[in-house]
Amino acid sequence: MAVLEQGQVVYIDKVEPNGPLRMASAIGKIMPAHSTALGKAMLAYLPEDEVRHILQTCGMPRRTPNTIADQPNFFEELAAARSRGFAIDNVENEDGIRCVGAPIFDHRGQVAGAISLSGSMRSLTVERIRRSLGPEVREAALRISKALGWTGTVARRDGERR
């Protein structure tokens, strides 16, 4: 689970797996928003001018060969995340690790944070994410959102409600 602070992802909770796989994320750690599923899930619901400001301020450094490092492709990725209701980090933040994340909305319909599921790229295939894991993460995020008072209305990226 993470929140967005000054345009970057800040991890606020994490459950470690029982196996040997360890990831770079840790509670309190800060990561770039553009290369993580958590960051993409949150940025997808912010006004476009705010996202552009974040990208210009924080940059879009390549963390792996798969990192999306240009704005036109990144905005296409955000549109796809909004359409699905979840974002995918396709080995963009950490070598060998794939992640799926979904936004959490507050009582005003604005993004309050995001949750994600991460694993090795072998176990989290893009097909498996799209077929089952993405919808499951999205549904879990919606349950958390409802517990925060969200009524199903999302604040539009231009500030209006929908």
Residue 28: exposure state from Cβ atoms within 10 A (0-12, 13-18, ≥19): exposed
In the chain the domains, ranked by start, together with CATH numbers, are 2-147 (3.30.450.40)
Q: Could you tell me the CA-to-CA distances from 41 to 19, 20, 89, 122 in Å, in that order?
A: 27, 27, 10, 22
Per-residue confidence (pLDDT) for residue 22, from 0 to 100: 57
- Say how many C-beta atoms besides its own lie within 10 A of residue 29's C-beta: 12
> Is 0.85 topped by the overall pTM?
yes
In this structure, are residues 28 and 11 in contact, taking their beta carbons and an 8 Å threshold?
yes
d(CA 106, CA 36): 21
pLDDT profile of the chain (162 residues), mean per 10: 95 70 68 97 96 96 96 97 97 96 96 95 95 97 96 64 41
Task: Let me know how long the chain is.
Answer: 162
The SS3 assignment for 48 reads helix
